[in-house]
Amino acid sequence: MRKLYVIGIGAGDPDQVTVQAVKAMRQVETFFVIGKGEAKRELVDVRTAILTEHMDRPYRIVPIADPPRDRTPADYVDVVDDWHDRRSALLESAFAAADGVGGILVWGDPALYDSTLRMIERVLARGVVRFDYEVIPGITSAQALAARHRIVLHGIGEPVRITTGRRLRDEGLGAENALVMLDGDCSFTTISAPDVHIWWGAYLGMPDETLIEGPLSEVAEEIVRRRAELRDRKGWIMDIYLLRRAGSDPPAAV
């Protein structure tokens, strides 16, 4: 393989694929797809649908089974580091067997809570395979959440803190606006301030997209219940939410 395109494909809606992404995809001969098992088969199906809609040349898909990892580790950083090492080894083997131009379709944008670029750098650092690579940005779930709720992510002149559920539990809300990702434990339930508003979304851009917003004290239980129902039915869930303290811009009219 002489070149690799790392292509952001948006938060789930095939129409979020940019013109730049389509142009890059049409240069690719081999797409590498890391699967996450049958429970998350829908994520692979969306990628396949995007390729079917936009590709204008023959291509092949090389599936790569995602290695398992501990989801409740005592040492999160070390466990994820080991997982990235095993993932990068699998990518290295796949890259070595490929010719021409390769591509990886990344959910959302490669720069935000995605490990693809870190793994590619590990592959290159080992020196077994050599190739150039280019990164194509994509629509993030943060942008999709704001668009679907018709909101701005911050008050006038205010910062936005992008964090994880794990850090929200450990550090609290902090800034006026907190965008929370990777929260499998509904960490918003640990925020007891009465003046916090939440905008929550799951499966953004997909057929099962679900949106809930309101004062956190009033809708937290509804979100927890609805999230559990969706996860039980589909076997997986991808969600994100914005928390905002009162005193910033008021909630948008609904």
The pLDDT tens digits of the residues spanning 133-190 come to 999 999 999 999 999 999 999 988 899 999 999 999 999 998 789 999 999 999 999 9
| Confidence band, pLDDT 50/70/90 cuts, at residue 41 | confident
172/179 Cα distance (integer angstroms)? 12
31/17 Cα distance (integer angstroms)? 16
First-last CA distance in the chain: 50
Amino acid at 20: Q
Per-residue pLDDT of 204-216, as tens digits, reads: 999 999 999 999 9
In the 8-state DSSP scheme, what is residue 34? Answer: E
- Phi then psi dihedrals of residue 223, to 5 deg: -65, -45
Amino acid at 222: E
Query: Is 60 exceeded by the pLDDT of residue 226?
Result: yes
Helix (H, G, I), strand (E, B) or coil at 240: strand
Domains annotated for the chain, with CATH where assigned, are 3-136 (3.40.1010.10), 141-245 (3.30.950.10)
153/249 Cα distance (integer angstroms)? 10
Q: Residue 190: its pLDDT value, please?
A: 95
Q: Residue 254: its pLDDT value, please?
A: 46
Tell me the whole-structure pTM to 2 decimals.
Answer: 0.88
Q: Residue 194: its pLDDT value, please?
A: 86
